[in-house]
């Protein structure tokens, strides 16, 4: 395997080359979604087209709204019975496929994650409507499982035939005396999984968050938003918070439970990991209940230390600050030592990251700590603010696809709104470097002349690999074996290839070792047989 | 602690709710089948998520590239129909990826809307979006009908409908439709036909496509799969053997009725007797005698059954999977004097239960069979009457762990082991492998769990 580029690649030339193959309409659109990174004097990036429709026929990484809603946001919660209303496929494909780990507190505790529930709609239901079957299915799920909550997820045909899933949810909630709520997350809505995240956020906010006002014990109470416990990431962070004396009220939604969501409004700070998938909940909790949010990143040793310090700074408690510093002082040297170990293997090598709505950004930290350079990156389903930072929000055009996704009107709760800090305190914290409600985006942290590609497709990925010969390419399962056939290892950053955890201090060290393994694997030297290396000897006897 | 802790032995009737399905939807079967045509890009006419889910599931099962296009429906397409999307998709696919064939399958969304694929494809041709010499075939695969197995069957029918021709001159070849089986199985079926000296056209043929080598080169369209010319020639064949009623009969019967190519539908050649019938039928159809090499393979299998019979004898087995596979597996288990006692398939089809009842008639034990059943029910039956062995896809591991039953992974999907991609379970060789898997599973458990003084060195 070649790990270094054969010659210097001019990214602008490569961009033009990639576009040349496309029919004109495709080329016009893609040219706005492929940028060579340049920051202006204020450190602001250029405008990138994102969160727009994928052109039909293009082999995209993207999935659908249902996947974002049922799979991503609600999937990791163990004690809600999630019923997919539709033909069998959607429920089947989202059954245990995302590697969200969960740890029920007792052997008796509810855990429905190993189960798949579906109405398995047939032709009769499509023709005559599926509401009756859905109602019956909710009843049967209640009879079989006796859960405290049931979620209903609409698939494509449900929207077309007009089943009123929300009415069914309302009726069954009343009949069964448990919480039943529905998600209109038909796959055709929006342009990617992203719309599904938004729909999930909205319904959780409407139907679950704030239901339980029982006070939560603890001095420093936070929620962790946008952390899905792939490969045990959330476990790693839970332990870290415990050691620091920080009380985690809820996680959205790794290793989570319904009850945690219900009382999440009692936390005093929301810490947002994956900005794209969950910022709506952070915004709505702040408006209704008063807890502010900050962007955190627990991917990377330094990033983890920085995020912990921000949390401690927010609470401003001396004891907490000291405890956080003690944990950092204990853990960070171990992470640095792990990085030192892999540096001889990894330093100077190139990485590419095309995944998700935050990981393509966050994981650059880890590569940086290993001395690797991210030469190209992009998101599968992010929006402009995830690329360019939230300061562009006022100028983001709301197109027809986004307008179809409900924006909830949220007001301060007259009884329960509680400002956690005075305006003066907030100002002081901001002056001291705590940024509230801000995500600076990926592009301002990337070097100039790197390539930023939104919604990358198969053809462009192949072109990138051919030109740059990166040491590692990060994407998902659909891309994995294509890239590896080319002799380049692919690290899955959706499901971690059955690896992890990669979050927190311990996770960082795991990731270094995993990347060192991938880029040093001997397998890449076996691709040519001896007779292919020396074909001229093919006709000679070589007994002697 | 148990994984499936809410599963109780008490069975409450369910009419509307499927729990832990033993099937998935049609389009994925159509996508898999289309990958068995050389130079073909499958295309999913629906929302992006369908294509993403199918590609992911197939990729996880094969650990190989799985390429397919999507019409990327939006809310607008759902209201106004997907014609514009498909037209644009075809134009882009032929320009960018340059396949020889695009195999379009529908989804629940495009079927509910009622998109007319042949009409749209005709329009695409008219508008010059399908280059000369390139092909578009299609299959209607609404997800709310049948299962992944029927989706496969529909796309195989789409192949012959799209390509088969009749020149009036028979070509002496036999069409072999291998069913929804693994690439290694398709290769083994070809091997048996070759050993018999039969010139065959096997379609679809995913061998070499979904079990390819690592060479440092990637080709979107590997030099494998049935060719367009072979598919054209299927209309001039002397006969068709469709293996598996559910997956292969549609196409076989289509060739029979439209092209007068006589067909026979056999069970999948899994196990001794089904392979015997396959070989016997094929030799008669092609007028060949069975070579000694095949007799030898068969004899080895019989030898192994005799050598290890004591371990098979009267062991109870639970199975979940696709009808064609399950019918042949049940027959084989009975051949080994084992007792398949709990059997579910998620795929609909009236003949399934009758076949299973017929095959298990001599078992002196109650046999539970459920068509359009699910793995939740299977697990409940196992809780009521424990078994010695479970045969099903990777989802079975949750049941196997909870109940401490050895598991043999068979069917789709297998997400956590490698063998299915490379080693067949069809033919005599495949049956030998099944024997090995059954014995390994049973004997490993015995070795690990029997009292110390009963550990046997020789078995």
Contacts of B20 in chain A (CB under 8 A): 95, 115-116
- pLDDT, tens digit (0-9, with 9 covering 90-100), for A376-435: 999 999 999 999 999 999 999 999 999 989 999 999 999 999 999 999 999 999 999 999
Contacts of A485 in chain B (CB under 8 A): 65, 212, 214-218
Residues 504-533 of A with CB under 8 A from B: 523, 527-528
Contacts of B49 in chain A (CB under 8 A): 63-67, 90, 187
CATH, domain range A65-187: 3.40.50.1980
Contacts of B66 in chain A (CB under 8 A): 478
Q: How far apart are CA A441 and CA A382, in angstroms?
A: 10
- pLDDT, tens digit (0-9, with 9 covering 90-100), for B79-91: 899 999 999 999 9
Contacts of A192 in chain B (CB under 8 A): 48
The whole-angstrom distance between residue A11's C-alpha and the CA centroid of its chain comes to 27
Contact yes or no for A115 and B4 at CB 8 A: yes
Contact yes or no for B18 and A485 at CB 8 A: no
Residues 160-189 of A with CB under 8 A from B: 160-161, 186-189
Å between A1 CA and nearest CA of chain B: 8
The average pLDDT across B101-118 equals 97
User: How many A/B residue pairs have CB atoms within 8 Å?
Assistant: 268
The average pLDDT across B205-224 equals 97
pLDDT at B211 over 60: yes
Q: With bands split at pLDDT 50, 70 and 90, how would you rate the model's confidence at A444? A: very high
**Most B CBs within 10 Å: which of A24, A69, A92, as the mutation test of the B interface?**
A92
Contact A26, A58 (CB under 8 A): yes
Q: With bands split at pLDDT 50, 70 and 90, how would you rate the model's confidence at A539? A: low
- pLDDT, tens digit (0-9, with 9 covering 90-100), for B156-169: 999 999 999 999 99
Confidence at residue A540, expressed as pLDDT on a 0 to 100 scale = 57
Residue A36: Cβ-neighbour burial (10 angstroms; 0-12, 13-18, 19+): middle
Å between A430 CA and nearest CA of chain B: 41
Q: How far apart are CA A466 and CA A483, in angstroms?
A: 10
> Nearest-CA residue of chain A relative to B72?
A56
Say which of B6, B25, B43 has its CB closest to residue A112.
B6
Contact A195, A65 (CB under 8 A): yes
> Strand B316-320 and strand B389-392: pairing?
parallel
Pick the closest to residue A90 from B143, B139, B347, B59 (CA basis).
B143
pLDDT at A32 over 50: yes
> Nearest-CA residue of chain A relative to B81?
A160
- Asked if the domains B26-145 and B297-454 are classified in one and the same CATH topology, the answer is yes
Residue A526: Cβ-neighbour burial (10 angstroms; 0-12, 13-18, 19+): exposed
Say which of B65, B77, B91 has its CB closest to residue A481.
B65
> Nearest-CA residue of chain B relative to A130?
B16
Confidence at residue A344, expressed as pLDDT on a 0 to 100 scale = 98
Q: With bands split at pLDDT 50, 70 and 90, how would you rate the model's confidence at A144? A: very high
Q: How far apart are CA A29 and CA A53, in angstroms?
A: 10
Q: What is the DSSP letter of A61?
A: S
Percent of residues, chain B, with pLDDT higher than 90: 99
Alpha helices by DSSP H, listed for A162-232, are 165-176, 193-207
Contacts of B95 in chain A (CB under 8 A): 21-23
Count of C-beta atoms within a 10 Å radius of residue B384: 13
Q: With bands split at pLDDT 50, 70 and 90, how would you rate the model's confidence at A543? A: low
Confidence at residue A535, expressed as pLDDT on a 0 to 100 scale = 72
pLDDT at A541 over 80: no
> Nearest-CA residue of chain B relative to A402?
B75
Å between B266 CA and nearest CA of chain A: 28
Residues 6+ apart with CB under 8 A from A104: A78, A79, A110, A111
CATH, domain range B297-454: 3.40.50.1980
pLDDT at A332 over 60: yes
Confidence at residue A143, expressed as pLDDT on a 0 to 100 scale = 98
Identify the CATH class of B26-145: alpha beta
Boundaries of every domain in chain B:
26-145, 174-210+220-289, 297-454
Confidence at residue A2, expressed as pLDDT on a 0 to 100 scale = 45
Give the residue carrying structure tokens 């189960």.
Answer: A115
Å between A226 CA and nearest CA of chain B: 21
- pLDDT, tens digit (0-9, with 9 covering 90-100), for B225-280: 999 999 999 999 999 999 999 999 999 999 999 999 999 999 999 999 999 999 99
Q: How far apart are CA B205 and CA B187, in angstroms?
A: 8
Written as six digits, the tokens of A233 are 């990431």
Determine the Cα angle at B109 with ends A460 and B35, to 5°.
50
Residues 6+ apart with CB under 8 A from A408: A202, A205, A206, A284
SS3 of residue A423 by DSSP: helix
> Strand A34-36 and strand A451-453: pairing?
antiparallel
Contact yes or no for A57 and B93 at CB 8 A: yes
Contact B83, B115 (CB under 8 A): yes
Boundaries of every domain in chain A:
65-187
Q: What is the DSSP letter of B178?
A: -
- Asked if the ipTM is above 0.90, the reply is yes
Contacts of B88 in chain A (CB under 8 A): 55-57
State whether residue A98 sits within 8 Å of chain B by CB: no
- pLDDT, tens digit (0-9, with 9 covering 90-100), for A191-206: 999 999 999 999 999 9
Say which of A122, A188, A481 has its CB closest to residue B73.
A188
Q: How far apart are CA B338 and CA B340, in angstroms?
A: 6
State whether residue A436 sits within 8 Å of chain B by CB: no
The average pLDDT across A322-340 equals 98
Residue A532: Cβ-neighbour burial (10 angstroms; 0-12, 13-18, 19+): exposed
Contact yes or no for B69 and A57 at CB 8 A: yes
Catalytic residue set of A: 64, 67, 98, 197
Pick the CATH number of B174-210+220-289 from 3.40.50.1980, 3.40.50.300, 1.10.150.20, 1.10.10.10: 3.40.50.1980
Q: Is B374 left (phi over 0), alpha (psi -120 to 50) or beta?
A: beta
Pick the closest to residue B412 from B431, B425, B399 (CA basis).
B425
Say which of A56, A156, A481 has its CB closest to residue B59.
A481
**Most A CBs within 10 Å: which of B48, B102, B208, B320, as the mutation test of the A interface?**
B48
Contact yes or no for B56 and A192 at CB 8 A: no
């Amino acid at each position: 395997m070649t790990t270094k580029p054969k010659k210097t690649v001019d990214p602008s030339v490569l961009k033009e080359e990639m576009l040349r193959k496309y029919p004109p309409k495709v080329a016009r659109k893609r040219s706005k979604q492929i940028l060579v990174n340049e920051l202006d004097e204020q450190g602001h990036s250029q405008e990138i087209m994102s969160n727009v429709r994928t052109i039909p026929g293009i082999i995209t990484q993207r999935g659908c709204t249902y996947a974002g809603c049922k799979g991503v946001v609600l999937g990791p919660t163990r004690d809600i019975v999630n019923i997919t209303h539709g033909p069998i496929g959607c429920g089947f494909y989202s059954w245990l496929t995302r590697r969200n780990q969960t740890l029920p507190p007792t052997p008796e505790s509810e855990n429905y994650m190993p189960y798949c529930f579906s109405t398995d709609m047939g032709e009769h239901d499509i023709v005559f409507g599926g509401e009756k079957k859905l109602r019956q299915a909710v009843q049967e799920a209640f009879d079989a499982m006796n859960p405290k909550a049931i979620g209903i997820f609409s698939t494509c045909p449900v929207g077309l035939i007009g089943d009123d899933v929300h009415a069914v949810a309302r009726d069954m909630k009343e009949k069964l005396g448990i919480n039943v709520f529905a998600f209109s997350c038909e796959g055709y809505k929006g342009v990617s999984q992203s719309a599904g995240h938004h729909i999930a956020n909205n319904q959780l906010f409407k139907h679950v968050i704030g239901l339980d006002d029982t006070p939560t014990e603890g001095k420093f109470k936070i929620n962790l938003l946008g952390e899905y416990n792939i490969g045990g990431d959330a476990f790693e962070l839970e332990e870290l918070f415990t050691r620091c004396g920080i009380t985690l009220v809820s996680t959205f939604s790794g290793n989570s439970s319904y009850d945690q969501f219900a009382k999440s409004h009692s936390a005093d700070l929301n810490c947002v990991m994956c900005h794209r998938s969950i910022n709506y909940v952070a915004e709505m909790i702040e408006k209704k209940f008063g807890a502010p949010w900050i962007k955190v990143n627990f991917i990377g040793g330094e990033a983890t230390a920085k995020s912990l310090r921000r949390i401690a700074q927010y609470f401003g408690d001396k004891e907490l600050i000291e405890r956080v510093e003690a944990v950092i002082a204990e853990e960070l040297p171990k992470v640095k030592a792990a990085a030192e170990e892999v540096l001889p293997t990894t330093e100077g090598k190139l990485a590419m990251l095309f995944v998700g709505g935050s990981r393509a950004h966050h994981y650059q930290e880890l590569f940086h700590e290993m001395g690797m350079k991210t030469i190209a990156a992009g998101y599968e389903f992010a929006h402009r603010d995830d690329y360019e930072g939230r300061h562009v929000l006022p100028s983001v055009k709301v197109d027809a696809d986004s307008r179809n996704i409900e924006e909830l009107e949220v007001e301060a709760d007259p009884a329960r709104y509680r400002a956690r800090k005075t305006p003066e305190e907030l100002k002081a914290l901001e002056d001291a470097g705590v940024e509230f409600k801000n995500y600076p985006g990926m592009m301002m942290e990337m070097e100039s002349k790197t390539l930023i590609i939104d919604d990358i497709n198969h053809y462009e990925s192949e072109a990138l690999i051919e030109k740059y010969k990166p040491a590692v390419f990060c994407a998902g399962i659909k891309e994995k074996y294509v890239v590896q056939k080319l002799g380049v290892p692919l690290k899955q950053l959706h499901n971690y290839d059955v690896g992890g955890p990669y979050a927190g201090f311990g996770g960082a060290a795991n990731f270094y070792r995993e990347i060192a393994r991938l880029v040093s694997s001997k397998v890449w030297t076996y691709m040519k047989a001896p007779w292919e290396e020396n074909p001229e000897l093919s006709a000679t006897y070589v007994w002697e | 602690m148990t994984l499936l802790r809410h599963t109780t032995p008490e069975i409450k009737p369910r009419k509307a709710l499927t729990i832990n399905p033993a099937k998935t939807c049609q389009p994925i079967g159509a996508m898999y089948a289309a990958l068995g045509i050389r130079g073909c890009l499958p295309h999913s006419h629906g929302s992006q998520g369908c294509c993403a889910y199918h590609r992911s599931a197939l990729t996880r099962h094969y650990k190989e590239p799985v390429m397919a296009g999507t019409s990327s429906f939006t809310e607008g397409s759902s209201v106004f129909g997907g014609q514009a999307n498909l037209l644009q998709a075809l134009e882009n696919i032929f320009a960018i990826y340059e396949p020889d064939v695009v195999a379009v399958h529908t989804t629940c969304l495009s079927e509910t809307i009622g998109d007319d694929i042949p009409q749209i494809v005709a329009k695409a041709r008219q508008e010059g979006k399908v280059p000369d010499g390139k092909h578009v075939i299609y299959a209607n695969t609404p997800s709310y009908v049948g299962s992944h197995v029927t989706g496969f069957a529909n796309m195989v029918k789409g192949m012959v409908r799209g390509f088969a021709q009749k020149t009036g001159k028979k070509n002496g070849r036999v069409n072999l439709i291998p069913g929804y089986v693994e690439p290694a199985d398709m290769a083994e079926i070809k091997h048996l036909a070759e050993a018999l000296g039969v010139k065959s056209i096997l379609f679809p043929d995913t061998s070499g496509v979904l079990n390819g080598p690592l060479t440092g080169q990637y080709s979107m369209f590997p030099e494998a799969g049935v060719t367009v010319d072979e598919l054209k020639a299927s209309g001039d064949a002397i006969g068709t053997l469709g293996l598996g009623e559910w997956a292969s009969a549609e196409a076989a019967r289509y060739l029979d009725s439209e092209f007068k190519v006589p067909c026979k539908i056999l069970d999948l050649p899994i196990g001794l007797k089904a392979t015997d019938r396959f070989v016997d039928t094929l030799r008669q159809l092609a007028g060949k005698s069975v070579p000694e090499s095949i007799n030898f393979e068969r004899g080895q299998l019989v030898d192994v059954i005799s050598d290890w019979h004591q371990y098979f004898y009267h062991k109870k087995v639970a199975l979940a999977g696709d009808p064609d596979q399950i019918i042949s597996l049940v027959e084989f288990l009975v051949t080994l004097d084992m007792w398949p006692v709990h059997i579910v398939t998620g795929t609909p089809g009236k003949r399934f239960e009758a076949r299973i009842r017929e095959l298990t008639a001599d078992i002196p034990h109650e046999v539970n069979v459920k068509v359009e059943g699910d793995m939740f029910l299977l697990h409940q039956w196992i809780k009521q009457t424990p078994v010695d062995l479970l045969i099903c896809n990777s989802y079975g591991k949750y049941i196997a762990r909870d109940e401490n039953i050895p598991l043999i992974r068979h069917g789709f999907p297998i997400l956590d082991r490698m063998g299915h991609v490379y080693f067949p379970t069809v033919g005599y060789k495949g049956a030998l492998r099944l024997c090995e898997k059954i014995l390994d599973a049973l004997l490993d458990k015995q070795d690990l769990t029997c009292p110390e003084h009963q550990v046997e060195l020789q078995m």
